[in-house]
A and B are shown apart, each in its own frame.
Chain A
Amino acid sequence: MTDRSVATGDPTRRTALEMADALRAGETTARALAEAALEAVERENHGLNAWLAIDRSGALAAADAADRRLADARAAGHDAVAALHPLLGVPVGLKDLISVAGGQCTAGSRILEGYVAPFDAHIVERLRAVGAVIVGKTNMDEFAMGSSNEFSAYGPVSNPWDLDTVPGGSSGGSAVAVAAYHVPLALGTDTGGSIRQPAALTGVVGLKPTYGRVSRYGIVAFASSLDQIGPFARDCRDAAALLHAVAGRDERDSTSAPEPVPGALLELPASDDEAAAALRGVRLGLPREYFVAGMEPDVERRIREAVATLEAAGAIVEPVSLPHTDYGLATYYIVAPAEASANLARYDGIRFGPRRGPDDVLGEYLATRGEGFGAEVKRRIMLGTYALSAGYYDAYYLKAQKVRTLIKADFDTVFAAGFDAIVAPTSPTVAFRFGARLADPVAMYLSDACTLPVNMAGLPGLSIPCGLSEGMPVGLQLIGPAWSELRLLRLGRAFEAVTASAAWRGLEPAGLPAAADPAAPTPAQRATAAATLR
């Protein structure tokens, strides 16, 4: 791995662990890193719209506190410095559905406009405890429902590789914040692919951990049997460090599991030779059903090349079958909207959010919800309400839960046969242009065909960059058994090691210079122009 900041002189090019090393070596300060992050956001958010809120004073105060901790630890000696978490003093972005006490938490929706979070989410407490610097809140599809970030009530987000394309979603802002070098790390949530798909489309690492790995206390809920929090990073070592900081049991989320968090997440090898050894003799299954209809041929080529690279490095790759994959989409689009329709019943204008309409209870509910929710959220509430309504429950919701059993059993069978992990595409296509899938909800839903079965089964899934297709990033997905995040990250790190000298690794997103041009169009203007052309 090479330190890009050495070549460019720009501290934002450092990975989180490079920042940690530089902080410990006294080459930089947390304040300098925070200021560089804030400056990058200020320069480029006009052109990207990745951020919905910036907490300048909070970030600088946290950075100064981190510098004091570092100085105290240095004074106390080597052991005290070694005991510091690598994220001390490192800037982090948070998807705007994560509660930070005293700050906004819109979930990308008008219905939470003006809401002030009364408490910190569990993961925010954990980040504060290790001394990470929270820079601000990132843009997202409303209530995390979407695969393009075009369903944000606060405007679309541009993909830094081509500003006329989407970054994926729903955690589009978090993905872009990392891809555009604003911050080395960000947190998102993944219900059907909302971390992995935008990570793939923007050329960064994204991990959806095992269901129950990270406490969701303080996170706006979408579909509670599927939602999971996870990291965005520019490499697997950074992603592992962020997972290490936020994972673990929390009694305020009864679904968070008492599963030990491996300390080895902080010890992924820095040396490429050592890292590559993880591939020798590893058994990987390649599911034929994941090469879905509608997959772009060039994306398939990049995936097959990546598989060949894994084999050349000593992995044993064999075809496997996950026969119920084709039923995943329909199953997901019953289960997730059903759970969402229940979770979103709380947004009625009574306890929080703007209240609208006449002064009678029913009229107020109808107006508050009818005007406060956007089109996609209404669509999913309608679907979910219908699937749960009298007379249709057995045909839809119960049926979907039974098929979910079959989807999960597909994965169990592969892992029981001795496979260490499954290797697959993350997304069937590269980033698409604004508006391309807005007219047809089903076309948009197909974006997540390769990711949502993993949520249905509760498994961890990692997306890592594996090359470019006509200048746009392609993501490779690694799926493992429950609680195998460390294994997936070691394999991802090994892939980084064996492709370290690939030409595409040296490329920065082509749209970044234009994003910094104050005269250039905003993502909203680009989306409007695309709609006019259509």
Chain B
Amino acid sequence: MTSLSRADVEHVAHLARLGLSETELARLEGQLNHILDQYAILAELPTDDIPPTAQTIELETILRDDTVQASLPAEVVLGNAAETRDGFIVVPAILGG
């Protein structure tokens, strides 16, 4: 199959929103390519006519009755956020102010 360049590794790290150090990027380039080499075995198998399997038990979508149920208390849920104000989570601005 293909191999990953250093630029590819940086691109994937950006997609995954992982801030990685120079050392980590260098180590991952080697390790990811070593792992991708193991994937090459899959190319041997003809699978054009094989349907993909995403789940293994034959369950149809099961819906519950649409009844009103208690939610978790807001203060308990918000209690895990780094910063809150007036029942909201405080986040950095995403639009220029």
- A: residues with CB less than 8 A from B are 115-116, 118-119, 210-212, 225, 251, 254-255, 257-258, 324, 326-327, 329-331, 333-334, 341, 345, 348-355, 357, 359-362, 364-367, 369-371, 373, 375, 378-379, 381-383, 385-386, 389, 392, 395-396, 398-406, 408, 440-442, 456-459, 482
Contact = CB atoms under 8 A, between A and B. Distances in A.
Contacts of B32: 379, 382-383, 386
A353 to B, nearest CB: 8
Contact of B82 (A355, A400, A401): A355
Interface in B10-42: 12-13, 15-21, 24, 28, 31-32, 34-35, 38-39, 41-42
A349 B82 contact: yes
Using C-beta atoms within 8 Å of the partner chain, give the interface range for chain B: 35 or more
A370 B20 contact: yes
Contacts of B19: 357, 365-367, 369-371
B92 interface: yes
Contacts of B12: 382, 385-386, 389
B86 interface: no
A404 B4 CA distance: 25
26 contacts: A118-B72, A118-B79, A326-B41, A345-B17, A350-B82, A352-B81, A355-B83, A364-B92, A366-B18, A369-B17, A370-B19, A378-B20, A378-B24, A381-B18, A382-B9, A386-B4, A386-B8, A389-B12, A395-B2, A396-B39, A398-B52, A400-B42, A403-B42, A403-B47, A404-B53, A405-B51
B64 interface: yes
Contact of A378 (B18, B39, B73, B80): B18
Contacts, number: 163
Contacts of B18: 366, 369-370, 373, 378, 381-382
Greatest chain B CB density within 10 A among A225, A326, A333, A399 is at A399
Contacts of B7: none
Given A329-B38, A383-B35, A442-B38, A350 B52 contact: no
A215 to B, nearest CB: 12
A403 B80 contact: no
Contacts of A408: 53, 56
Contacts of B28: 378-379, 382
Nearest to B62: A254
B16 A385 contact: yes
A48 to B, nearest CB: 30
Contacts of B16: 341, 369, 381-382, 385
Interface in B50-69: 50-57, 59, 61-62, 64
B22 to A, nearest CB: 12
The 3 A-B pairs with the shortest beta carbon distances in the complex, nearest first, are A458-B56, A370-B19, A366-B19
Contacts of B92: 359-361, 364
A160 to B, nearest CB: 32
Nearest to A441: B31
A118 B77 CA distance: 6
Given A118-B73, A225-B56, 17 more contacts: A210-B57, A211-B55, A255-B55, A345-B17, A350-B82, A350-B91, A360-B92, A369-B19, A378-B20, A378-B28, A379-B32, A382-B13, A401-B54, A405-B50, A405-B52, A442-B34, A482-B57
Greatest chain A CB density within 10 A among B2, B56, B57, B61 is at B56
Nearest to B24: A378
Greatest chain A CB density within 10 A among B31, B55, B57 is at B57
B34 A389 contact: no
B68 to A, nearest CB: 15
A402 B34 contact: no
